[in-house]
Amino acid sequence: MIERNPQVRDHFLVLDRHESFGDYARAYGDAIAEHYESNGVVVVPFMPIAFDREFFRELEVPPEWKKVGTADGIERPVFERRGRQLVFADDHPLVLRFGQSAVAVYAQEQIASFNAQLRHGLGQLFPRYFSLREGNVTWRLTETVAEGMHFDVFQRGAPLSPAHKTLHRVKFFINIDDEPRRWRTSCDMPAALVAGRGLLPGDLPDDVNVVCDVIDKFGLLKTLPAHSLAYPTMSAVFANGETLAHEVVYGRRVVAGEFTCLESDMLAPDKISHRCMPGWLRDAGYRVAPDATAIALKYAHMKGSYALLQEARSNAAPA
C-alpha cells in the first residue's frame, strides 16, 4: 500500500481495520488527531459507510463536475413544495444533470445518507473537535491523472483573513472506486521551506496561503523526493494539504471533505499552521515579510518561475 522514501519523513499512521467508527475511537482515542496535527497522514483502511457504491460506479458526470459538492447543493432534496404540490426543484444540480427522474432522486438520497454517516463518523474519529464545521463535501466522479505535487491554495493565493487564521483544517479523501487511488506525498511545509532556501524569495509573509501559492508557482515541489501510496476501495486518507505536499497520480471516484474547527479545540493549539508559520520561516532562514498582500500580488501571475530561475542561473554560470 505504501512505498516509503527514506529521504522523506515517514508521516504515515496506518490504522488497523475496524468495522465501526466507534471501534476506531475506542482503539485510537486522541492518537488520530494528535498525528494529524503533526502534519501527518492518517490512513483508515475501511470507512464503515453503507451506500450503493455500484450505482455511483455507473453514474456519468461531465468534467466540469470534478468537485461538485454540498456547497453546490447536491445534498438538498430534489423536491420542493409549491403551495399544495411537491415538484422537482428546477435549479437542483442533479435535476439539471439527470432531469426530473428517479436517477436524480436516488442519487440525492444516497449522497445525503453517505454524508450523514460521514459526519457522525468524524465526530467519533475527532471527538475533541467540538466546533467541527463543514466547509464542503465533494463527490468527485471524474478521472484525475498526474495532478502534480502541490500545497493546497485558496482564493488564488490571497492572504487569509484574521478569522480564518483561527481555524484548523481537516481534510480527507475516501476512495469509492473499484481500483486503488494512487497518491504521492512529499515534504511538509517546514521541510519544503528548508529545501527551497536560495530558490524561493528570501522574504516571505507569515501567511500559509500566500506561501503555499509562491511555492507552487516556483515549481519547487517537482524536485523533491516523495512517498507513494495506493489506498483501496472504501479506505481513506486524512491529510492537511496546506502543510503537506501531495498529488493524485491516478484516481476515478472519491468523496472528499473539508472541515474546520477552532484552534482552541485542537489537542495542541500551538501546532495550528497559522501560528507556526513565522517560526517555520525563521528556522529555515527566511525574513518574515510585513506585507502578505504585496507578495501575493507580486507572484499572482507567475508561472514556471522555478524553471526560468534555473535557466537564468545556468546561463549566468561561468564556462
Q: List the grid coordinates of 268.
A: 495542541
Burial 114-153 (b: 16+ CB within 10 A, else e): bbebbeebbeebbeebeebebbebbbbbbebeeeebbbbb
- Residues 141-163: tens digit of each pLDDT: 999 999 899 999 998 888 999 99
Q: Rounded to an integer, what distance in angstroms lies between the CA atom of residue 45 and that of residue 31?
A: 16
What pLDDT, on the 0 to 100 scale, is given for residue 302?
67
- Residues 104-142: tens digit of each pLDDT: 999 999 999 999 999 999 999 999 999 999 999 999 999
Q: Rounded to an integer, what distance in angstroms lies between the CA atom of residue 274 and that of residue 2?
A: 29
pLDDT (mean) for 83-108? 95
**Ordered DSSP codes for 63-80:** GGGTT-BGGGTTTS-SEE
Paired residues of 81 in beta bridges: 86
> Chain-wide mean pLDDT for the chain?
92
pLDDT at 314 over 50: no
The structural domains of the chain, with segments of one domain joined by +, span 11-68+131-316
Q: Residue 282 — very low, low, confident or very high, per pLDDT cuts 50/70/90?
A: very high
Q: Rounded to an integer, what distance in angstroms lies between the CA atom of residue 56 and that of residue 75?
A: 15
Q: Rounded to an integer, what distance in angstroms lies between the CA atom of residue 145 and that of residue 209?
A: 24
pLDDT at 209 over 70: yes
The vertex-206 CA angle with 204 and 208, nearest 5°, equals 100
What pLDDT, on the 0 to 100 scale, is given for residue 294?
85
* Assigned fold of 11-68+131-316: Double-stranded beta-helix (3.60.130)
Do strands 12-14 and 41-44 pair parallel, antiparallel, or not at all (unpaired)? parallel
What pLDDT, on the 0 to 100 scale, is given for residue 309?
44
Comparing 230 with 319, the larger pLDDT belongs to 230
Q: List the grid coordinates of 15.
A: 490504522
What pLDDT, on the 0 to 100 scale, is given for residue 60?
86
Q: Which of 20-29, 144-153, 169-178 has the lowest mean pLDDT?
A: 144-153
What pLDDT, on the 0 to 100 scale, is given for residue 64?
87
